[in-house]
Homo-oligomer: A and B are copies of this chain.
Amino acid sequence: MVESPCVIGVDLGGTNVRLGLVHAGRIMARAEQAVRVERSPAAMVDFLARVITPWRSTTPAPQAIGIGAPGIVDPQRGVILKSPHYPEWVGFDMQAQLDAATGLPVILENDANAIALGEATDGAGQGFANFIMLTLGTGIGGGLILNRDLFRGDVGFAAEVGHMVLDYAGPACPCGGHGCWELYASASAFPQLIDQSDHPLRRQFLDHFHGESGRVTPADVYRLATDGDLFANALWKTFGRFLGTGIASLTNVFGVDHFVIGGGMATAWDFFVPEAHRALARHTYPETAARIQLHRARLGDDAGILGAAALVARRLQ
């Protein structure tokens, strides 16, 4: 076992840019900035370089920079092709620019893939040859760790597991498809889960939100469920059922037993996981259902930084 190198991990999130100096899976120093003021590629490179330059004189000194970026990333060329949070970033050659600004080698990867690698290296995926990382956010982000490494397919991008079909005749998805998994088991699913429910307490629940399901956030549903609201509890069960159905599908396709589940909605773990297991049992052979293990992601809010760090540390070892 080679000792893990000291590296820098950068998490280009939708709200904040966060970066950390990482050694042996621990964050030794960190910095954060709201993204609003850092829209242009030049301003972002400048911000990162200003934080990173003083870190270069620490002991041990960082040897490289890993970046997890949302959107469509070309990891081979180190270019952000398109990013949902930064409309200006089209064909942004971040790798070359940050390398020039800091003198450190830079590796760029899709953020969901970086998080999967982070959980593989320092989190809930440690020791598993194969696992599927699911990040439950606005959609369902995915990362495939197969044979102990990231599998990117032919496109080189992240797995679009959120767009697996769960109902061929289902509603239209913004991706252009129909009945995609993330329409049923992500943050954006709640308004529809509420509207389609025939639960007797639905109307009473909606009174908290002026009768508008579109105002309900997963955080609201979690808070109400912990307060004992029965409809909120039923919503998490429905969410869990759809989550488990999709996991059953993935299990049948991959023959992979381990799933690591993170993202904002993992907070409600105890409310949805039992129902997810019931759905797994409903959609797989009994032997298969007995093998499946759902693991809660362990890197939490630091997953982006640690994932980006794990990404680059692997290349150095």
Contact = CB atoms under 8 A, between A and B. Distances in A.
Q: On chain A, which size bracket covers the interface?
A: 35 or more
A249 interface: yes
Interface string A160-171: 111111111100
B258 A160 contact: no
Contacts of A142: 253
A146 interface: yes
Contact of A258 (B147, B154, B286): B154
Contacts of A163: 249, 252, 283-284
A125 interface: no
Interface stretch (A13-21, A174-182, A212-220, A267-275): A174-182
A92 interface: no
Nearest to A283: B177
A155 B283 contact: no
A155 B257 contact: yes
Given A166-B168, A245-B165, A160 B252 contact: yes
8 contacts: A130-B154, A142-B253, A147-B151, A153-B255, A159-B255, A164-B164, A176-B284, A176-B285
